[in-house]
Structures are given as structure tokens and as C-alpha cells.
Amino acid sequence: MHELAIAQGILDIALRTASCHKATKVTKIKVLIGELAGIVPEALEFGFDALRAGSMAAEACLSIRMVPLTGRCRECGAQSCIDKYCFTCASCGSYALEILTGRELKVESVEVE
């Protein structure tokens, strides 16, 4: 379950951010996760809930926004969502797709008091 290690990293970022801003409490953490990142949101939330106890983030809300997998065809220039990992252009059928979104794993913001 690599989500536990990722949850620890998210918590570390939030706690460092709170310390840098001389805050006493982390209230919300917003995270972007790409569809291709291979992370199960429920497992990440479970790990985060277990790790945050006793810290400044003990009552923090973890807000996860999933980012769809999208690509642009290098042949015809069409942009589209990539469904079911079928890496072909929906317009021309080419396999020359450039991934635009869907690989994200990023702490977007940390709210503190």
C-alpha cells in the first residue's frame, strides 16, 4: 500500500507549511491526483487519517481532486480524454498521443490557522 507513504509525504508538507507560517493548526489540505498516478483515493484517505492523529493536522480535512487523463494527438492536434487507457486518438486513430494531464500528484494548497 504505497498510499501510506504518499499520505506521510502529504502530512509532512502540510506540517512544514504550518511551521513556516507559525500556525498552530492545519485545517485543510487540497491534493491533485491524476488518473494515471495509480493512487486509490480511499486508501490515501485511510492512511492520512491514521497518520494525522496527535499532530497539528489532527482535525484537517483532506480534499482530493482527481484529474482526468487527457492527451493531444501529435498527428492531427486533437485533444481528448483518454478512456480506459486506450492510447489512440479519438479523431484519427493515431498512436502518437502526448499526455497532457493525468499524472499529477501535488499538494495544491494547505489551509492553516
> Is 92 annotated as a binding-site member?
yes
Is 20 within any annotated ligand binding site?
no
Position 48 scores a pLDDT of: 98
Condensed to tens digits (0 to 9), the pLDDT of residues 34-77 reads 999 999 999 999 999 999 999 999 999 999 999 999 999 999 99
| Mean pLDDT, residues 91-104 | 96
> What is residue 84's predicted lDDT score, i.e. its pLDDT?
80
- The structural domains of the chain, with segments of one domain joined by +, span 3-69+102-112
70-73 sheet: strands from edge to edge: 79-81, 70-73, 97-101
Please give the pLDDT value at position 13.
Answer: 98
81 is in an annotated binding site: no
Which architecture does CATH list for 3-69+102-112?
A: 2-Layer Sandwich (3.30)
The pLDDT of residue 1 is: 63
Q: Is 61 annotated as a binding residue?
A: no
Residue 85: the pLDDT is 83
2 is in an annotated binding site: yes
The SS3 call for residue 58 is: coil
